[in-house]
Structure 1
Amino acid sequence: MSSKEHTVTSDELDVNGHTNPGLPEHKPRLTDTYPEIERRFERQVAGWFVLSMLGTVLFIVSFIAIEPGESYDLMRLSNTLLGLGATLALLGIGVGAIVWAKNLMNDHEVTESRHDIHGSEEDRAIAVEIIKQAKEESGIARRPLIRNTLIAALALAPLPAVIVFRELGPLPGDKLFNTLWDQGVRLAIDTGGIPENPRLLRAEDVTIGSVVHVIPENIHDGDHALDEKAKAAVLLMKIDPDELNEDPERADWSYDGIVAYSKICTHVGCPVALYEHQTHHLLCPCHQSTFDVTDHCKVIFGPAKRPLPQLPITVDSEGYLVAQSDFPDPVGPTFWEINTR
């Protein structure tokens, strides 16, 4: 017991009548005691901020220098470097800020009384004083190495987002109306990648209930084959013709119950590939938009607003399935106002 008696005031009692123990005794850190350790942590913080800058530069260089559409290997390399660059850019700032706060900023605990919030001159003066105090406690004014590297890292960090959004480019206009599908283009089975010798599809090979992923046989004709494949991807299904509810204007777009629809969801562009044979519903796995294959793939559930565009098909003289034309409607998500033809 202390030789001095202490009278507990009402301010030191909580609502339950217990004595307020007060703040624990402050324990100095190594950085508070040894200047050389303080400088070491300062260099560590600056190093993390520099790492963030390098990550941002890696992202930008990878985005500009590597064309992912040329091959799957380049696409994999591009995604890896972009992910690594973005990770380092954000991780460097985050870890640097944590190391700075835990080892260099003032860690004294304080208590402040609550008071009514109002905009008096006195309150504004107090707010300014708090900001000045935070500036002093963080040490940002007297640690130019940390301050400068942090400013540089924060200045570079938004650039990847700016570049990525800028790369989205202008609105597509009529580009989504144009794919490699055209009159007489034969349907080939999609076996993955860009096939050297596409396997063509005969109408007699498609049985009721089957689902086939198809691409145009002339997939090599595009300057950017993967981009063209992404736009032209199609799901082909065969249904009992009596179950099809076809508009008279589109009655000749199918052949013997075989129908073909764009594989790209009209919500945000996910691949629609889940077919329920009993109900003849197509489901998008991303946001559960559901399309009725028997009724021109009209939306029956989910956030999609447009039916999947239908590819008009028929057969040629050799029995191969062929397109009658390109998609009459634009493929892909409706991020913008689209006027159908």
Structure 2
Amino acid sequence: MSTHDNGHEAGHDVVVHDGDALPARFENPGFEKHHPRMGDLDEHANKKSERIVVALFTISILGTLFFLIAYFVWPPGTTPVEMRRSNLALGLGLAFALLGIGTAAIHWAKALMNDHEKSEERHEQRSDDDTRAGAIEVLKDGAADSAIGRRGVLKGAMITALALFPLPIVLALIGNIGEDWNIGQLKHTMWKKGTRLTTDPVGRPVKASDVTIGSVWHIIPEGLDKEPHPLDEKAKAVVLLLRLDPRDIKREQGVGWSYDGILAFSKICTHVGCPVALYEQQTHHLLCPCHQSTFDVADGAKVIFGPAKRPLPQLPITVDDEGYLVAQSDFHQPVGPSFWERLK
């Protein structure tokens, strides 16, 4: 038997690879010896596995019921504490509802159904009619192998868990019926003519002389930190304040909307509403950390990368008699995601 170069056949049954003689093909070793499970040998163990599956489906049922109770007992409310409490309760209920169904299905398959190894030869994607009919028979055999027809308690637990699980989703949808669906209100924020720009969260007014080139300030309307306002008002009104060299500004969204290179843009990304807060000073780019939408603040905050479809709305600003930065008006475009309906 002769030896050839790397990767070439050196005989009928041997090939050479990296200087090593290897078999040209390997015989199918077949399956390892099958080891029966405890449930296959002991009826008591089999029943125990069935009870475990029932218990897991019961956990799912209880999780769903807890979600439904929490939805009415602990509504989201308007304060951070109420929101955290509601989200925690709903999240725990939904987690156990899903976890119970998933782990029950896995344990059912591993402990109660047939675990004998099988193999099939590869074939064309479209099998002949006899093979397809055989596949249907295999599915029927699998259903019979699950013994769901003989396990009444297990079947009842599974059906109940699966029947109740959609309720958290349906309830949340039904709960929104009758709510305020006036999308037009999203076009308006607390900003108005003469409102001072103040720092978030302490509410300190900002003078134009305080803002240096390259700096970024997180801004809220004056008074937002003192008066009781709904959280969504702050969510709509938050602003990023930046200062560029006036010579670097290519375009604004409105004439005279900046002051000596100071620009103010909505902090809410126009993709799905994440806070835009990563500023690249050298390129004048604002980056959204959620999905990497990138806006060029030197060019009217237009989108230069990512899934956002429109620029960040610009807040028109100027200074008052004391040198403090103030708004000229509200935003001229609605803030937030572009899929919100907008009134023309």
TM-score band, normalised by the shorter chain? 0.7 to 0.9
Aligned pairs for 1:82-93 (under 5 A) are: 82-93=90-101
Describe the shift of the 1:83–1:186 C-alpha distance in structure 2 as closer, same or farther (beyond 3 A): same
Q: TM-score, normalised by structure 2?
A: 0.80
Structure 1 gaps of 5+ residues are: 1-14
Pairing partner for 2:60 from 52, 55, 79: 52
Matches of 1:151 and 1:105 in 2, distance apart?
18
Aligned pairs for 1:301-340 (under 5 A) are: 301-336=305-340, 338=342
Matches of 2:33 and 2:293 in 1, distance apart?
60
Matches of 1:289 and 1:160 in 2, distance apart?
33
For residue 250 of structure 2, what is the aligned residue in structure 1?
245
Q: Are 1:261 and 1:308, in contact at CA under 8 Å, matched by a contact in 2?
A: yes
Q: Are 2:316 and 2:327, in contact at CA under 8 Å, matched by a contact in 1?
A: yes
For residue 147 of structure 1, what is the aligned residue in structure 2?
155
Deviation of 1:229 after TM superposition, in Å, equals: 0.9
Q: Are 2:318 and 2:327, in contact at CA under 8 Å, matched by a contact in 1?
A: yes
Matches of 1:21 and 1:257 in 2, distance apart?
75
Q: Which residue identity is paired with 2:296?
A: D
Deviation of 1:26 after TM superposition, in Å, equals: 4.1
Aligned pairs for 1:272-291 (under 5 A) are: 272-291=276-295
1:176-222 alpha-carbon deviations (Å, 9 max, x no partner): 2011112222222112xxx6xx3222333222222110111243698
**Is residue 2:300 matched to residue 1:296?**
yes
Q: Are 2:184 and 2:341, in contact at CA under 8 Å, matched by a contact in 1?
A: no
**Is residue 2:77 matched to residue 1:72?**
no
**Is residue 2:235 matched to residue 1:227?**
no
Q: Are 1:69 and 1:227, in contact at CA under 8 Å, matched by a contact in 2?
A: no
Q: Are 2:187 and 2:342, in contact at CA under 8 Å, matched by a contact in 1?
A: no
**Is residue 2:99 matched to residue 1:94?**
no
Q: Are 2:57 and 2:100, in contact at CA under 8 Å, matched by a contact in 1?
A: yes
Aligned residues: 318
Describe the shift of the 1:309–1:60 C-alpha distance in structure 2 as closer, same or farther (beyond 3 A): farther
* Comparing 230-239 and 180-189, the one that deviates more: 180-189
Structure 2 gaps of 5+ residues are: 1-23
Deviation of 1:274 after TM superposition, in Å, equals: 1.0
Q: TM-score, normalised by structure 1?
A: 0.81
**Is residue 2:214 matched to residue 1:209?**
yes
Q: Secondary structure at the match of 2:298?
A: helix
CA-atom RMSD in angstroms? 3.1
Matches of 1:21 and 1:32 in 2, distance apart?
26
Deviation of 1:293 after TM superposition, in Å, equals: 1.4
Structure with the bigger percentage of helix:
1
Q: Which residue identity is paired with 1:317?
A: D
Q: Secondary structure at the match of 2:304?
A: strand
Q: Are 1:180 and 1:222, in contact at CA under 8 Å, matched by a contact in 2?
A: no
Describe the shift of the 1:31–1:245 C-alpha distance in structure 2 as closer, same or farther (beyond 3 A): same
Deviation of 1:329 after TM superposition, in Å, equals: 0.2
Deviation of 1:271 after TM superposition, in Å, equals: 0.9
Deviation of 1:291 after TM superposition, in Å, equals: 1.4
Matches of 1:240 and 1:314 in 2, distance apart?
16
Aligned pairs for 1:97-116 (under 5 A) are: 97-111=105-119
Pairing partner for 2:145 from 122, 128, 137: 137
Q: Which residue identity is paired with 1:201?
A: V
